[in-house]
Structures are given as C-alpha cells and as structure tokens.
Structure 1
C-alpha cells in the first residue's frame, strides 16, 4: 500500500503528464468529439420562413399577435463519468505496468481533459459491488482528488461484476452523460444493463489487457491461480494444445465484449499495457470528429 507521501508524488507526476497530454494532444479534440450531445433553450425571436413549426412559442406569439420561435444552442457543459474496475484482475501486469496503472493514467488524462473544458467529472469504483462513488463536479481540486483516489483505492473483493456498476450508474445519473468504462472486461452478463445505459448515455469502453492475458509463455509446468476466483491448477505451458486453448479463451471473452458493445450501440477501445494509449485515445477522438 502506498504511503501518503508516495501518493502525493504520484498525483503530482500524473498531473504534470496529464496536463501535457491534454494541452499538446487533445486541444479541441476531446470536447469536439462529444459536441451536440444536448441542446438548451437560449431565447425567442420572431418567426422566419423555414423555421421548424415545432419550436414556435405559442404563449409569446399570442401575446404579441405574431409568431415567435424558440432558439436553442448546443450545451457546452458535459458530465463525464468514469467507471473503474478495481477487482483483483486489474492488478495483473507483466511488461511495463499493471492494468490498474494504465487505467489510472487514462482516467487521469480524461479527468484533466474534462476540467480543462469546464465539464463535470465523477467516478464509480467497482468490483462485484460498488466500492466508492464520487459525484461529478467541476474544478482542478476535484480532479486532483479523483487522481488521489485512483492511486489509493483498494478493493476488498476479488471478483468483477460490471452489471452492478452499470445499474448503479443508470440509477444515480439522471442527466445524459459520457461514461468511460475502464476494465479488462473478463466477466459476462452485463448486456442488458449496457443496453439500457447506452440508450441514454454515450458509453465508451476501454478494455485494458496484458500480453500474457492472451498468450501463455512456454515456461514448463506452472501452478497458476485465478486472481478473481482463487482457483489453482497445474498447467503444462509447453503444450501447444494448452497454449491454443488459453488463447482461444481470451478471444472468446473479447468477442463477447465486442458483440455486447456493438449491439448496445457503444464504442469499445482495446489497449494493451505495453501500447501507447495516447495514440489510441487520439485516434478515437479524431474519428468522432469526422
């Protein structure tokens, strides 16, 4: 567990890194990627030929004896929610960093991007239950608080249940929001809750996985333990069949999450722990602007 001094050092380092990324790479791209997500009433003006008759303000029109139209403008303030998986499997990592480390960095970048654009940012930490909820607010201090929590949060639970997090999100978030789900998505059974959330909110999944999640290295006879169930067994990593079945299981769960997100009309990005997540986020933001 990190000491307070270590957490503060890491918060400062993440703040510096995130600010550089949001300034140098995401200027304009983050916000324009989500433009037009809502419209708010601005004013009324005299009706002009071609105005949509659905937007005629009948009360004002009756008062002045000729038609007036309501004028709307794009809502510039957004509400961004982070749903962060803190179950046991998030601690796994074999190359550069653990899945939790990468999720923390991505979440920090999104948090600072949000506050730089005067948007609200909130977090739901989850395992197979809701570990912590931080309601969305604006401001740099709020973003720094979120980063501190990202670094220090620990789950007492091992398993993952995205269904629980999505139901909590659906019940607590009334305003249309943008939600980033950071997880390795190794569980199932969340398709209904994702479809409900996707009907109202803009959902982006970020699947974070390690190279060894997909490929079992040839290291002889291994005693392995499932981080989430605690189940242990011996496997022969020299066996081609064992390695094939291991990889097939990875693609089975990946195909499931891809299909569930597609059917729900939501986006799903894939980030390996040794990849440059900045480029993946950038490509996604730019594709949203086309």
Structure 2
C-alpha cells in the first residue's frame, strides 16, 4: 500500500512532466533515438517528384497507374532506466534529495519514450540489484515506474554500478537505450561499462549536490556517511580541509569525464541546485548536431 505522501509526489511529478515534455523536446528525442530500421507502410499513387526507385512495379502493372511503396520507421525501442538508490542518493542540501531528482528525470525520459511508442523498463540498484521491471509500453506502466523509484525502500546502502550493468547486459537481448542515473560514488566499473556501451546506447546521468564539493564554514559539524552509517566529526572552519574537499571533487569530476569519453558514453550532468531540463536539452542538441 502506497502512502498518501508518495501518491501526492507521483501526481506532482506527473503534472510537472506533462508540461515540460512538450513537442520540442519530444521531437528531439525522436530524432536522436532512431528505430532499428524501416517497415512497409502502404502504397499510394505516384506524385511527380517522388523517388522513382520507390515505384511498386507489380501494383503499377495491375492498375496501369504508377504507384510507389511507402515505408515508416520501425521504432520498437527499449529504454531501460537504471536508477541508483544507494545511501548517498538520499542526500540533498537544496530543495530535493538526489533520489527525488532521479525520479523526476526518470519520469521525463519515460514519458518521452511512451510518446514515441517505445517500451520502458526499470532497474533499481544499490550494492545489489534490488528491483527489476521488464520493459513495457503505456502510461500505467510509466506511473508504476515512478511510484517504485519514489516509494522503494532498498535493503542495501552501498553502490555497485558494476553489478547493475552486468544485470542489464544479461537481460537485454537486443540493442537498447540505457540511462544510468547515479551520483557515481563508486569505482571499478569501467570494464563492464565499456562492454555495455559497445552493445547498447548507454547514457550516464550524473546527479551532484553543491555541498558535496563545497563545505560551508560552520565550525564543528557531525556528518553521517549515508552508505556506511558511520558518524564523523568535521571542523568545517578549516580552510585547508575545505580546499582538500574541493580539490578531491574536481579531480573526481575530471576522472569521471575521462572515463565516459574513453568508453564513448554520453554524459548528462545534473546539479540539484539548477534546473535539470537544461542539461537534458543540451544533450539532445549535441546528439542532433553529431548525427548530421
């Protein structure tokens, strides 16, 4: 039984996403993620200017009038949302937790997919694969996906991206679009990421909170590691410590960017204190430009 609070959040997200998944971004999605090929649609009479290579000579011979074959794009794409709900995702210093932001972004991508008659699946993971919903079409299924992300209570707190990628590589038999939504607070997943990226269209959606790279000078503060539960007393007034945190964050950003480039994985970089629609639209525009 879902709590009233979760249902309220689902309705709020549904309303918000229905407004922003407009024709512009929906059209961008369609042009960026092409179907597997084309399939026969219909025959119609030849119109001057049509490609003569499309003439259906059998129908033309029977009718005495030139007809052409028309083909439509065969979409039938599968979009797999791979969502990190580890302990570090349950952090947010601005308006929402990273896990709530993950639900909104997943909802937007899912609604774009079903608008284009594509199937949507879900994998929730922590340091293990927690919940899997095979890909299906339809609005009801997408709403279930959103409810699962918002309401799921994971058993694990750590992060093992490698396990999640191994799982989707095993269950997805055909080339699919995989959105990996995480803060990427993990290591040792590059080898399997490269393998998945060669078989599928893998897109990394990285969620970042500003306080993870900039410590405010608040004096002695007790922090809890969301993944281990360990409490640590930190002197945030230390300029040296704040510089170290900032330097480590910058180094991690650079290392991740290089890792994604090496494995030809596109990155959508989302910060919790900024609108998430902008980096998503930027991703679509860059993809469109690259495909020309």
Contact 1:125 1:131 in 2 (8 A): yes
CA distance in 2, matches of 1:219, 1:77: 53
- C-alpha offsets along residues 47-86 of structure 1, whole Å, 9 cap, x if unaligned? xxxx9xxxxxxxxxxxxxxxxxxx9975322110100000
Structure 2 regions of 5+ residues with no counterpart?
42-52, 54-69
TM-score (norm 1): 0.85
> What is residue 206 of structure 1 aligned with on the other side?
205
CA distance in 1, matches of 2:38, 2:100: 38
Q: Which runs of 4+ in 1 moved over 4 A?
A: 40-43, 71-74
- C-alpha offsets along residues 213-272 of structure 1, whole Å, 9 cap, x if unaligned? 110110011222221123332221111110011112222322222122111111112111
Contact 1:108 1:147 in 2 (8 A): yes
> What is residue 175 of structure 2 aligned with on the other side?
176
Contact 2:128 2:164 in 1 (8 A): yes
> What is residue 38 of structure 1 aligned with on the other side?
36
CA distance in 1, matches of 2:9, 2:225: 29
Contact 1:39 1:72 in 2 (8 A): no
CA distance in 1, matches of 2:245, 2:133: 37
TM-score (norm 2): 0.84
Shift of 1:157: 1.0
Contact 2:208 2:272 in 1 (8 A): yes
SS at match of 2:25: coil
Contact 1:25 1:282 in 2 (8 A): no
More displaced 10-residue stretch of structure 1: 165-174 or 4-13: 4-13
1:4-153 residue pairs with structure 2 within 5 A? 4-35=3-34, 38-39=36-37, 42=40, 74-153=73-152
Asked if 1:228 is matched to 2:227, the reply is yes
CA distance in 1, matches of 2:135, 2:72: 23
Structure 1 regions of 5+ residues with no counterpart?
44-50, 52-70
Contact 2:125 2:164 in 1 (8 A): yes
- Cα RMSD (Å) of the superposition? 2.0
Contact 2:87 2:227 in 1 (8 A): yes
- C-alpha offsets along residues 148-187 of structure 1, whole Å, 9 cap, x if unaligned? 1111012121100100000001011011011111110010
SS at match of 1:176: coil
Contact 1:34 1:288 in 2 (8 A): no
Contact 1:80 1:178 in 2 (8 A): yes
